[in-house]
């Protein structure tokens, strides 16, 4: 009998496995920039620490945060979370509660006593930091970790700057703030409070400092010309909030009017309610859509009984506290214009919340410094026109927030370090293309609405300075972290590995992701199509 006809192929031969000629495109793994990372003014690698958190590695997640930001517990409470605003998950159901998870990690660090170390060799260089607010403390933290001797001098009696003297305790408990400041000081940073720097050049020379970082906060409340009788009780919101840190609480009376429309106005109004005011009325010359306060700040104020009086301006204050208001209306450009219509509003106190300015008198007489519109001009490295003097936070042109200040401190510290060492700042990671929602395969993600953190009951909110927004527990924090879509970056889900019809995807060690064996890949694109996070793209086959 004849042998049956058969063909034998050696699967290891070039004829059997060369598939390049079959392809017009080939898949490649990419790393894209998550929108949360891009949106963080403090420069946190948010996606990286969420990845640790969703695996339950909370200390690893916290240590990832503090590479960039020494205030996770503070930031999780007071940051206006621009990262959440741009989160791709919002287009699927709701944005990830990034700040809630960060707060949980920060609180865990305080509870567990996690610490950081200054591992760098001492540089022998001394740096003066003026101002113990978020920007100054952030700079001191990073400079100390880079091996420099740091001295902070602040005019106030306690450290924290506007975190302590501008943010009410119901938003930021003082024990939380102090715990994170103490961790910075434990690195060997010297803090000198009640030390107002009158002349920065004299301080540098007398202290033999090699460089200085100026981070004087905007502690001066702007005034408006309001004709008033001698008996009228008028104060600014910054002074009001600052006085809350003293032993004696200010006396505002039963009916308090707050003039302004920013977050400070909301804080002043809510503080007035907690001090016993039956009426806290915010007078604002524009509309709700135009106000500077964040929406959640306004809503919390309204919940607590604060009253808003839109399109109104204060013309004068009488001896008996009676305020004369004028109604405004918007012109065709959206700018408020007076109408001549007046009304009377009785008050016991008038609080002005019209913005803040920084005291720049310490710069008087210093050559080469350029000051305009109440701020100091700095270059891309945060250095002023005077070599060796850097500035950040409220002193420079930028949005004024804790998060921005922390980011300035980190950036300045790295540039100060480079300047002291006579080197260039090490290049950061390459800025990849931003990961868009359209690039995700959301079929693989089930609906998982955002975890709503509990809040203090209303009776206690109106009658005490106890913290209003409460934190997540471990179970909820884990759930919230796992809602992250890992936009644009492989998280080793094994989709490409399991779905490849040609077994061309090779699974590497944990953390090393995958590689593609192009000898077997036909370029079908299934891996790219089915990647949940958009971390594979098809590129033209090399010629």
Quick one: average pLDDT of 396-416? 94
**Between residues 246 and 503, the one the model is more confident about:** 503
Residues 49/65, Cβ–Cβ less than 8 Å? yes
H or E element at residue 305: none
Question: What are the φ/ψ torsions at residue 182 (nearest 5 degrees)?
Answer: -60, -35
**pLDDT tier at 21, thresholds 50, 70, 90:** low
**Domain-embedded: residue 7:** no
Distance (Å, whole) CA 200 – CA 7: 87
**pLDDT tier at 2, thresholds 50, 70, 90:** very low
H or E element at residue 61: helix 58-65
**229 and 349 inside one domain:** yes
Residues 525/518, Cβ–Cβ less than 8 Å? no
H or E element at residue 308: strand 307-309
CATH number of the CATH domain containing 89 = 1.10.1060.10
Q: What's the pLDDT at 10? A: 42
* % of the chain at pLDDT higher than 70: 95
* Predicted confidence (pLDDT) per residue in 135-193, tens digit: 999 999 999 999 999 999 999 999 999 999 999 999 999 999 999 999 999 999 999 99
pLDDT at 229 > cutoff 80: no
**Domain-embedded: residue 61:** yes
Residues 495/527, Cβ–Cβ less than 8 Å? yes
**Between residues 413 and 460, the one the model is more confident about:** 413
Distance (Å, whole) CA 458 – CA 452: 17
Cα torsion through 478, 481, 482, 484, rounded to 10: 180
**175 and 260 inside one domain:** no
Q: What's the pLDDT at 201? A: 94
- DSSP structure class, residue 513: -
Tokens for 194, please give them. 């009640």
Q: What's the pLDDT at 276? A: 93
**Domain-embedded: residue 246:** yes
**Domain-embedded: residue 380:** yes
* % of the chain at pLDDT higher than 90: 79
**Domain-embedded: residue 430:** no
H or E element at residue 317: strand 312-317
Closest CA relative to residue 116, chosen from 150, 141, 143: 141
Q: What's the pLDDT at 19? A: 62
Q: Three-state SS for 442?
A: helix
pLDDT at 303 > cutoff 50: yes
**156 and 213 inside one domain:** yes
**470 and 502 inside one domain:** no
CATH number of the CATH domain containing 518 = 3.30.70.20
Query: Domain boundary at 353, 373, 398, which?
Result: 353
CATH number of the CATH domain containing 171 = 3.50.50.60
Distance (Å, whole) CA 280 – CA 278: 7
Positive or negative: CA dihedral 212, 215, 221, 224: positive
**163 and 190 inside one domain:** yes
**Domain-embedded: residue 2:** no
**Domain-embedded: residue 445:** yes
pLDDT at 397 > cutoff 80: yes
Q: What's the pLDDT at 445? A: 87
**255 and 348 inside one domain:** yes
Tokens for 499, please give them. 């779905």
**130 and 173 inside one domain:** yes
Query: Residues, the chain, total?
Result: 543
Of the ranges 62-76, 234-248, 498-512, which one carries the lowest mean pLDDT score? 234-248
Residues 485/88, Cβ–Cβ less than 8 Å? yes
pLDDT at 70 > cutoff 90: yes
H or E element at residue 374: none
Residues 218/356, Cβ–Cβ less than 8 Å? yes
Distance (Å, whole) CA 488 – CA 536: 8
Cα torsion through 425, 99, 70, 461, rounded to 10: 140
Q: What's the pLDDT at 382? A: 94
Q: What's the pLDDT at 478? A: 94
The Cα-based distances of 159 to 181, 200, 400 in angstroms read 8, 19, 18
**41 and 96 inside one domain:** yes
pLDDT at 404 > cutoff 70: yes
The Cα-based distances of 495 to 49, 483, 532 in angstroms read 23, 18, 8
pLDDT at 126 > cutoff 70: yes
Look at the chain and report how many structural domains it folds into: 4
pLDDT at 15 > cutoff 50: no
* Predicted confidence (pLDDT) per residue in 443-500, tens digit: 888 888 888 888 899 888 888 999 999 999 999 999 999 999 999 999 999 999 999 9
Q: Taking all residues of the chain, what is their mean pLDDT, rounded to a whole number?
A: 91
Q: What's the pLDDT at 429? A: 59
Residues 234/252, Cβ–Cβ less than 8 Å? no
Range of the domain at 533: 14-31+490-540
pLDDT at 3 > cutoff 50: no
Q: What's the pLDDT at 448? A: 83
Q: What's the pLDDT at 249? A: 84
Distance (Å, whole) CA 531 – CA 528: 5
**150 and 108 inside one domain:** no
**306 and 374 inside one domain:** no
pTM of the model: 0.90
Quick one: average pLDDT of 236-262? 91
Distance (Å, whole) CA 250 – CA 237: 12
**Domain-embedded: residue 208:** yes
**213 and 229 inside one domain:** no
Q: What's the pLDDT at 446? A: 81
**323 and 378 inside one domain:** no
């Amino acid at each position: 009998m004849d042998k049956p006809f058969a063909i034998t192929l050696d699967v290891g031969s070039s004829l059997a496995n060369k598939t390049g000629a079959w392809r017009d495109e080939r898949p490649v793994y990419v790393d894209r920039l998550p929108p949360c990372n891009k949106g963080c003014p403090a420069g946190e690698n948010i996606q990286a620490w969420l990845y640790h958190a969703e695996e339950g590695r909370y200390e690893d997640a916290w240590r990832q945060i503090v590479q960039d930001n020494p205030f996770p517990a503070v930031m999780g409470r007071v940051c206006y979370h621009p990262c959440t605003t741009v989160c791709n998950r919002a287009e699927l159901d709701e944005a990830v509660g990034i700040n809630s998870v960060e707060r949980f990690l920060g609180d865990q660090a305080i509870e567990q006593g996690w610490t950081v170390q200054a591992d760098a060799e001492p540089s022998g260089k001394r740096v003066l930091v003026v101002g113990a607010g978020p920007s100054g403390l952030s700079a001191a933290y990073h400079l100390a970790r880079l091996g420099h001797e740091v001295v902070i001098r602040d005019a106030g009696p306690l450290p924290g700057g506007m975190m302590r003297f501008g943010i009410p305790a119901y938003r930021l408990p003082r024990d939380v703030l102090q715990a994170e400041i103490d961790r910075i000081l434990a690195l060997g940073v010297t803090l000198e409070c009640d030390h107002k720097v009158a002349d920065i050049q004299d301080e540098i020379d007398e202290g033999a400092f090699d460089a200085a970082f100026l981070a004087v906060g905007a502690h001066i409340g702007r005034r408006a010309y309001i004709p008033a009788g001698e008996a009228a009780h008028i104060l600014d919101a910054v002074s009001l909030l600052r006085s809350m840190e003293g032993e004696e609480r200010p006396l505002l009376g039963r009916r308090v009017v707050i003039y302004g429309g920013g977050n400070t106005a909301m804080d002043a109004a809510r503080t007035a309610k907690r001090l016993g005011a039956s009426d806290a009325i915010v007078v604002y010359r524009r509309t709700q859509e135009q106000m500077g306060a964040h929406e959640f700040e306004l809503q919390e104020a309204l919940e607590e009984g604060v009253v808003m009086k839109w399109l109104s301006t204060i013309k004068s204050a009488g001896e008996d506290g009676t305020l004369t208001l004028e109604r405004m209306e918007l012109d065709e450009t959206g700018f408020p214009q007076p109408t001549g219509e007046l009304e009377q509003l009785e008050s016991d106190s008038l609080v002005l919340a019209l913005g803040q300015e920084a005291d720049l008198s310490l710069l008087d007489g210093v050559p080469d410094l350029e000051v305009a519109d109440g701020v100091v001009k700095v270059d891309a490295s945060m250095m002023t026109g005077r070599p060796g003097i850097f500035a950040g936070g409220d002193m420079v042109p930028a949005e004024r927030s804790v998060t921005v200040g922390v980011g300035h401190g980190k950036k300045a510290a790295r540039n100060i370090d480079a300047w002291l060492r006579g080197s260039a700042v090490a290049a950061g990671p390459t800025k990849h293309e931003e990961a868009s929602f359209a690039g995700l395969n959301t079929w693989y993600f089930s609906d998982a609405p955002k975890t709503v953190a509990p809040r203090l009951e209303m009776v206690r909110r109106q009658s005490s300075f106890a913290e209003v927004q409460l934190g997540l527990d471990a179970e909820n924090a884990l759930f919230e972290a796992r809602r992250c879509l890992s936009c644009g970056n492989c998280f080793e889900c094994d989709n490409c590995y399991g779905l490849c019809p040609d077994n061309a995807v090779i699974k590497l060690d944990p953390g090393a992701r995958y590689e593609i064996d192009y000898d077997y890949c036909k370029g079908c694109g299934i891996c790219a199509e089915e990647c949940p996070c958009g971390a594979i793209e098809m590129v033209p086959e090399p010629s």
